[in-house]
Structure 1
Amino acid sequence: MSHSAINLRDKLSRFSDHWSPRVVAEMNDYQFKLAKIHGEFVWHAHEETDEVFIVLAGEMTLEFRDKTVPLATGEMYVVPRGVEHRPVAKEECSIMLVEPRGVVNTGDAGGAYTAKNDVWV
């Protein structure tokens, strides 16, 4: 166990690829993941868990089939389990995801955007 603070800016500076979450901490069975996003992700759902999006820098939109939720720096949103959604960012945006260990980023959709799981930075 580390006794020093986790510097999110430093961790974000260590990678540049988009849509590839990196784990920075764990609490019980939950992981805190940093990601850089840009463009449109795939429509997907997580049948087994809610998913938390926290915007650290920039702006993004969570698209749902019946609405959109814009998020700016310092804002967060909890996507309920089983709800189909698609994150979109017109410019690069840095986010934190909070979700159980083992959650696949593309949920039920799979495909080219599926990132390796449990990659630490």
Structure 2
Amino acid sequence: MTDETPDIEAVNVAEGFDSFDETWSPRLAAELNGQELKFAKLEDEFVWHHHDDADELFFVVDGELRIELRDRDDVHLDAGEFVVVPRGVEHRPVALPTADVLLFEPAETRNTGNVESERTADVERL
């Protein structure tokens, strides 16, 4: 292996979630093809927002999550389920009451999209 070749290692999802406690503060787990995989612990309601240029995938690992949508029916997710929120669609994730979620989205997508709030967070690497 050369110095330019990254390590190839398995990631344990449970250990990833166990490595931090903060809610609504995603942790970068991996990068691939211009996308980022993030661990996020969610609690109660987030802010209404949208992403102009990014689809966002929510995969529930543990707990329950409701994705509220302004212009269509809400989507309820149990552990093992996911949904893609298309770019431009205003949404608000609501954990019932908590959820561990994997997020897949383009690199450097801001967690609050078009909104600046107290929940806007920089992504830290695991």
* Alignment TM class, shorter chain as reference: over 0.9
Aligned to 2:3: none
Distance apart, 1:39 and its partner CA: 0.6
Between Structure 1 and Structure 2, how many residues are aligned? 120
Q: Encode CA deviations 1:32-56: one digit per residue, 9 max, x unaligned.
A: 0000001100000000010000000
Residue 91 of structure 1 deviates from its aligned partner by: 1.8
Deviations 1:40-89 (A, max 9, x none): 00000000010000000111100001321000000000000000000001
Partner of 1:92: 98
Q: Is the radius of gyration larger for structure 1 or structure 2? A: 2
Q: Which runs of 5 or more residues in structure 2 are unaligned?
A: 1-5
Aligned to 1:9, what secondary structure does the other structure show? helix
Q: 1:55 aligns with which of 49, 57, 60?
A: 60
- Tell me the amino acid that sits aligned with residue 87 of structure 2: R
- 8 Å Cα contact 2:58/2:83 also seen in 1: yes
Deviation, structure 1 residue 3 = 2.7
Q: Decide whether the 8 Å contact of 2:63 with 2:96 is kept in 1.
A: no
Aligned pair 1:111/2:112, yes or no?
no
Residue of structure 1 equivalent to 2:46: 41
The answer to whether structure 1 residue 28 and structure 2 residue 16 are counterparts is no
Runs of 4+ in 1 over 6 A off after TM superposition: none
Deviation at 1:110, TM superposition (A): 1.3
TM-score (norm 1): 0.96
